Amino acid sequence: MTADPTMARIAQGVELNHHQGQREAARDLFARIWDDIGGEQGDPLHVCVLAHSMADVQDDVDQELMWDLRALAAVGQITDERVAQAGVPLSVAGLYPSLHLNLSECYRKLGDLDRAREHLQRARDGIGALGDDDYGKLIRDGLEQVAAQLDAAT
């Protein structure tokens, strides 16, 4: 299996954001990658993962939501074969809980609690596709956190 250079570049941006605290540098790198892949016309796996990552570096919730919706739109065009080919250790089904978790959080921040609850439920419905590993725990913890915030908002 050959490493996917675009996925490696996206991983660099995630590293800049999550581990080095350089949101702006990550956002700039993601924007260059977005242009390089042809935006929404690019490989659906790249579009999904890049948009999902780009959402995390937005300062404006509406922009974050726009990127998360792009990621969700692209995931339906990805095959398990393509995910494996890129070296992603998840099935396509394993991508959905995180996408819906992020959408739930966006809608919660925007005050659209019904949509937030809908995406929270969709994330919960897909949680079985995640393993019992650090990633699975991260998503499960995130779901609990958003659920508690939504309960408090009622």
Q: Is the pTM value of this prediction over 0.85? A: yes
Kindly state the DSSP code that residue 16 receives in the 8-state scheme: I
Query: Residue 111: left (phi > 0), alpha (psi -120 to 50), or beta?
Result: left
- Measured over the CA atoms of residue 76, residue 79, residue 84 and residue 85, the dihedral's sign is negative
> How many angstroms separate the CA atoms of 31 and 146, rounded?
28
Backbone angles phi, psi at 146, to 5 degrees: -65, -40
pLDDT of 47-84, one tens digit each? 999 999 999 999 999 999 999 999 999 999 999 999 99
Domain locations in the chain? Answer: 1-88, 90-154
pLDDT of residue 89: 86
> How many angstroms separate the CA atoms of 54 and 140, rounded?
21
pLDDT of 117-142, one tens digit each? 999 999 999 999 999 999 999 999 99
pLDDT of 143 over the 50 cut: yes
Of 95, 89, 63, 90, which Cα lies nearest the Cα of 76? 95
